Chain A
Amino acid sequence: MELYRLTIHELQEKLEAGTVSAADVIAALYRRIDEVEGKVHAYVTLTRELAVKQAAAADLALQRGEGGALAGVPIALKDILCTRGIRTTCGSRMLADFIPPYDAAVVERLRDAGAIFLGKTNMDEFAMGSSNETSYFGPTANPWDTDRTPGGSSGGSAAAVAADECLAALGSDTGGSIRQPAALCGVVGMKPTYGRVSRYGLIAFASSLDQIGPFTKDVEDCAIIMNVIAGHDPRESTSIPAAVPDYRQFLARGVEGWKVGIPQEYFLAGIDREVEASVRRAIAVIEGLGAQCVPITLPHTEYCLAVYYIIAPAEASSNLARYDGVKYGFRSRSGRDLLDMYKKTRSEGFGAEVKRRIMLGTYVLSSGYYDAYYKKASQVRGLIKRDFDEAFRQCDVIMTPTAPTPAFRLGEKTDDPMQMYLSDIFTISANLAGIPGLSVPCGFTSGGLPIGVQFLAGRFEEEKLFQVAAAYEKNAGLEKRRPPL
Chain B
Amino acid sequence: MDYEPVIGLEIHAQLLTQTKIFCSCSAKFGGAPNHHTCPVCLGLPGVLPVLNRKVVEYAMKMALATNCRINGECRFARKNYFYPDLPKGYQISQYSQPLAERGWVDIELAAGRKRIGITRIHMEEDAGKLMHDENGPASLVDLNRTGVPLIEIVSEPDLRDPEEAVAYLKRLHETLVYLEVCDGNMEEGSFRCDANVSLRPRGQSAFGTRAELKNMNSFRNVQRALEYEIKRQGYLLEGGNQVLQETRLWDDAQGVTQSMRGKEEAHDYRYFPDPDLVPLVVSDDWIGEVGKSLPELPLAKRERFTTTYQLSAYDAGVLTSSRALADFYEETARLSGQPKIAANWVMGDLLRFLNEDKRNIKDSPITPAALAETIRLIESGTISGKMAKEIAEEMYRSGRPPQEIIAERGMVQINDETMLAGVIAEVMAKNPDQLAQYRGGRDKLFGFFVGQVMKATQGKANPQAVNDLLKKALS
Contact = CB atoms under 8 A, between A and B. Distances in A.
Interface of A: 81-82, 88, 90, 95, 98, 100-102, 104, 199-204, 206-208, 234-238, 314-315, 317-318, 320-322, 324, 326-328, 338, 342, 362, 365-367, 370, 374
A327 B87 contact: yes
Contact of B80 (A199, A318, A338): A318
Contacts of A315: 272, 275
B33 interface: no
Contacts of B78: 318
B276 A237 contact: yes
A207 B78 CA distance: 13
Contacts of B87: 322, 326-327
A237 B49 contact: yes
Contact of A204 (B46, B50, B51, B141): B46
B88 interface: yes
Contact of A200 (B46, B80, B141): B46
A201 B90 contact: no
Given A237-B48, A324-B82, A365 B39 contact: no
Interface in B37-64: 39, 42-51
Given A326-B141, A366-B270, A100 B276 contact: no
B226 to A, nearest CB: 29
**8 closest Cβ contacts across the A-B interface?**
A321-B89, A208-B275, A365-B270, A207-B275, A203-B45, A201-B46, A82-B46, A203-B46
Contact of A321 (B46, B88, B275, B278): B88
Contacts of A101: 39, 44
A365 B42 CA distance: 25
Contact of B46 (A100, A328, A338): A100
A237 B278 contact: yes
Contacts of B44: 82, 100-102, 328
Nearest to B76: A237
A174 to B, nearest CB: 12
B324 interface: no
A342 B45 contact: no
A375 B276 CA distance: 17
B268 interface: yes
Contact of A201 (B47, B268, B271): B47
B84 interface: yes
Nearest to B269: A367
A26 to B, nearest CB: 27
A222 B268 CA distance: 45
Nearest to A209: B275
10 contacts: A100-B44, A199-B46, A235-B48, A236-B50, A237-B277, A317-B80, A322-B87, A324-B84, A366-B270, A370-B271
A158 B141 CA distance: 41
Given A88-B45, A200-B47, A238 B88 contact: no
Nearest to B39: A102
Contacts of A362: 270
Contacts of B278: 237-238
A238 B76 CA distance: 13
A235 B50 contact: yes
With most chain B CB atoms within 10 A of its CB, the pick from A90, A234, A322 is: A322
Given A365-B80, A365-B271, 16 more contacts: A81-B46, A82-B44, A100-B39, A100-B46, A102-B39, A104-B46, A200-B48, A201-B46, A236-B50, A237-B278, A315-B275, A318-B89, A321-B82, A327-B43, A365-B270, A370-B270
B450 to A, nearest CB: 77
A95 B45 contact: yes
A318 B90 contact: yes
Contacts of B272: 314-315, 318, 365, 370, 374
A82 B45 contact: yes
Interface in B271-327: 271-272, 275-278
Assign chain B's interface to a size class.
20 to 34
Contacts of B39: 100-102
B53 to A, nearest CB: 12
A367 B90 contact: no
A317 B49 CA distance: 18
Nearest to A239: B48
A102 to B, nearest CB: 5
Interface in B61-112: 78, 80, 82, 84, 87-90
Main secondary structure of the interface of B (DSSP, over half): loop
Contact of B42 (A317, A320, A321, A327): A327
Contacts of A320: 89
B333 to A, nearest CB: 48
A342 B82 CA distance: 9
Contacts of A338: 84
Contacts of B45: 82, 88, 90, 95, 98, 100, 203-204, 322
Contacts of B88: 321-322
B44 to A, nearest CB: 7
A237 B89 CA distance: 20
B270 A237 contact: no
A322 B84 CA distance: 10
Given A199-B48, A324-B82, A362-B270, A238 B42 contact: no
A46 B294 CA distance: 58
A204 B87 CA distance: 15
A161 to B, nearest CB: 23
Contacts of A90: 45
Nearest to A94: B45
A459 to B, nearest CB: 15
A28 to B, nearest CB: 32
Nearest to B267: A367
Nearest to B278: A237
B51 A237 contact: yes
B268 to A, nearest CB: 5
Contacts of B90: 318, 321
Nearest to A206: B275
A88 B45 CA distance: 10
B351 to A, nearest CB: 48
Nearest to A321: B89
A205 to B, nearest CB: 11
With most chain A CB atoms within 10 A of its CB, the pick from B46, B88, B268 is: B46
Nearest to A202: B46
Contacts of B51: 237
A322 B43 CA distance: 7
B431 to A, nearest CB: 88
B21 to A, nearest CB: 12
Contacts of A314: 272
Contacts of A234: 50
Nearest to B88: A322
A485 to B, nearest CB: 33
Interface in B3-59: 39, 42-51
With most chain A CB atoms within 10 A of its CB, the pick from B44, B50, B271, B275 is: B275
A202 B278 CA distance: 18
Contacts of A201: 46-47
Given A208-B275, A327-B43, A236 B48 contact: yes
A429 to B, nearest CB: 18
A101 B43 CA distance: 12
A342 B81 CA distance: 12
Nearest to A325: B84
Contacts of B42: 327
B133 to A, nearest CB: 15
A233 to B, nearest CB: 9
A366 B88 CA distance: 19
Nearest to A210: B275
A327 B84 CA distance: 8
Contacts of A367: 268, 270
A75 to B, nearest CB: 18
A88 B87 CA distance: 19
B89 A322 contact: yes
With most chain A CB atoms within 10 A of its CB, the pick from B44, B87, B88, B90 is: B44
A355 to B, nearest CB: 15
A317 B82 CA distance: 12
A102 B38 CA distance: 10
